[in-house]
């Protein structure tokens, strides 16, 4: 069944067979994204957020990854599509901004040559035309003197400029879907502010759909319309950004909010971290994967240790949450116990 949404991911599963067992990096992920909107995917290392982006772009290794489910991009299904079809879309209709531009750009080719290549793969134009286009793109992402810098090598750029060049390369074919995997993690705050501002204005200009993958809740709050929180390969909470930040109902989301010192609030004497460690993907805990670290697990009457919870509508009714706690109880814990602690 085709999809009406611009991007719709249905029950996406990506797993990798290893000698130690099957690693279910992404385990039944479902979400939709419209043009001009931004989805923030949040999670810690190993939660499956980056594998999701690689899966959508078809960048996973087809020989060792097992992918199932459906990915509909503008009416076209990608999971079952041939590698050639996906290649035709990648860099063209969908593009990616990687975390570390120094290791994801080729050190032997000039920045210009790499953008020209990205353009000419999808457009039958001469090198001169493509070069003009590359210079134009570099100018638009705010590189000074783009006609000269186009012949520089990546190492001659600063970290912030490299990330801009990376964005220029991703945008050169006017992609309608842009996936940014930790786009500002390697950057300083002032440069991060510039890059986020740039991504925001470019998105408005191109009306593209944006998926931003990060562990930084500040960055997510800054850009996202919707937020999807991942833990152990599963979506644990999904909904509008304002709801997720104001009325979160999953204990893991509470934990993330409590772990983070905040500049916009009076200083807390103590952070409230999540106890324990992120789970090993090879040996996920039974039932709810978060239960060994969850302070509220005893209140589920043993359900959380045995049964995997379903993604159900939250008590507020505006988002989805995967938790065994009764809906009203979740709401009560947040308003009476967790929220006052965070704002104390």
Answer yes or no whether residue 153 interacts with another protein by CB under 8 A: no
Q: Should residue 242 be labelled a site residue for another protein when binding is judged by CB under 8 A?
A: yes
Mask 266-305, x = binds another protein (CB under 8 A)? -xxxxxxxxx-xx---------------------------
Q: What are phi and psi of 277, to 5 degrees?
A: -120, 155
Selected binder of another protein within 255, 287, 309, 338 (CB under 8 A): 255
Q: Which two tokens stand for residue 21?
A: 């067992």
Question: Is residue 233 near another protein by the rule CB under 8 A?
Answer: no
Give dist(CA 5, CA 9) in Å, integer.
10
What are the distances in angstroms from CA 253 to CA 44, 228, 256? Answer: 11, 10, 5
The answer to the question of residue 198 lying near another protein (CB under 8 A) is: yes
Smallest gap, in angstroms, from Cβ of residue 198 to another protein?
A: 6
For residue 102, state whether it binds another protein (rule: CB under 8 A).
Answer: no
Task: Give the CB-side neighbour count of residue 59, counting CA atoms within 13 A.
Answer: 14
Closer residue to another protein, CB minimum distance, 65 or 223: 223
264 binds another protein (CB under 8 A): yes
Q: Are 52 and 29 in contact (CB under 8 A)?
A: yes
How many angstroms separate the first and last alpha carbons of the chain? 50
Residue 261 engages another protein in binding (rule: CB under 8 A): yes
DSSP readout, 250-316? SHHHHHHHHHS--TTSPPPSS--PPPS-PPPSSSPPSSSTTGGG-TTGGGGTTHHHHSPPPEEE-TT
Closest contact distance (angstroms) between CB of 20 and another protein is 14
Q: How far is residue 150's CA from residue 288's CA, in Å, rounded to a whole number?
A: 51
Q: How far is the CB of 42 from another protein (least distance, A)?
A: 9
Q: Which of the ranges 75-83, 171-179, 219-227, 320-328 carries the binding residues for another protein, by CB under 8 A?
A: 219-227
Beta bridge partners of 180: 97, 212
Q: How far is the CB of 202 from another protein (least distance, A)?
A: 10
Q: 104 or 194: whose CB is closer to another protein?
A: 194
Q: How far is the CB of 292 from another protein (least distance, A)?
A: 13
Q: Does residue 263 belong to the site contacting another protein (CB under 8 A)?
A: yes
Task: Indicate if the alpha-carbon torsion angle 116, 117, 120, 126 is positive or negative.
Answer: positive
Residue 161 structure tokens: 């400029």
Binding site for another protein (CB under 8 A): 44-45, 140, 142, 144, 158-161, 188-194, 196-198, 200-201, 215-222, 224, 241-242, 245-246, 255-264, 267-275, 277-278
């Amino acid at each position: 069944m085709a999809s009406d949404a611009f991007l719709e991911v249905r029950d996406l599963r990506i797993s990798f067979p290893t000698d130690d067992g099957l690693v279910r990096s992404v385990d039944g992920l479902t979400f939709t994204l419209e043009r001009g909107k931004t989805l923030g995917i949040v999670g810690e290392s190993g939660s499956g957020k980056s594998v999701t982006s690689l899966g959508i772009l078809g960048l996973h290794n087809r020989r060792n990854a097992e992918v199932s489910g459906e990915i509909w991009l503008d009416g076209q299904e990608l999971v079952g599509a041939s590698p050639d079809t996906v290649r035709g879309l990648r860099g063209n209709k969908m593009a990616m901004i990687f975390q570390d531009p120094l290791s994801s750009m080729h050190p032997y080719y000039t920045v210009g040559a790499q953008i020209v290549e990205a353009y000419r793969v999808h457009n039958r134009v001469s090198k001169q035309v493509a070069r003009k286009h590359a210079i134009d793109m570099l100018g638009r992402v705010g590189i000074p003197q783009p006609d000269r810098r186009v012949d520089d090598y990546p190492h001659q750029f600063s970290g912030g400029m490299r990330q801009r060049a990376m964005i220029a390369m991703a945008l050169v074919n006017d992609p309608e879907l842009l996936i940014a995997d930790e786009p500002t993690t390697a950057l300083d705050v002032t440069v991060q502010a510039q890059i986020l501002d740039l991504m925001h204005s470019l998105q408005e200009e191109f009306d593209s759909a944006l998926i931003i993958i990060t562990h930084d809740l500040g960055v997510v709050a800054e850009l996202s319309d919707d937020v999807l929180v991942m833990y152990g390969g599963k979506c644990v909470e999904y909904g509008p950004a304002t709801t997720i930040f104001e009325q979160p109902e999953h204990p893991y989301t509470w934990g993330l909010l409590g772990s983070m010192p905040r500049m916009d609030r009076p200083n807390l004497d103590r952070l409230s971290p999540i106890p324990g460690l992120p789970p090993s993907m090879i040996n996920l805990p039974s039932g709810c994967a978060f239960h060994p670290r969850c302070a509220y697990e005893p209140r589920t009457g043993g359900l959380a240790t045995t049964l995997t919870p379903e993604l159900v509508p939250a008590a507020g009714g505006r988002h989805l949450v995967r938790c065994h706690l009764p809906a009203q109880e979740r709401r009560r814990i947040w308003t009476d116990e967790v929220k006052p602690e965070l704002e104390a």
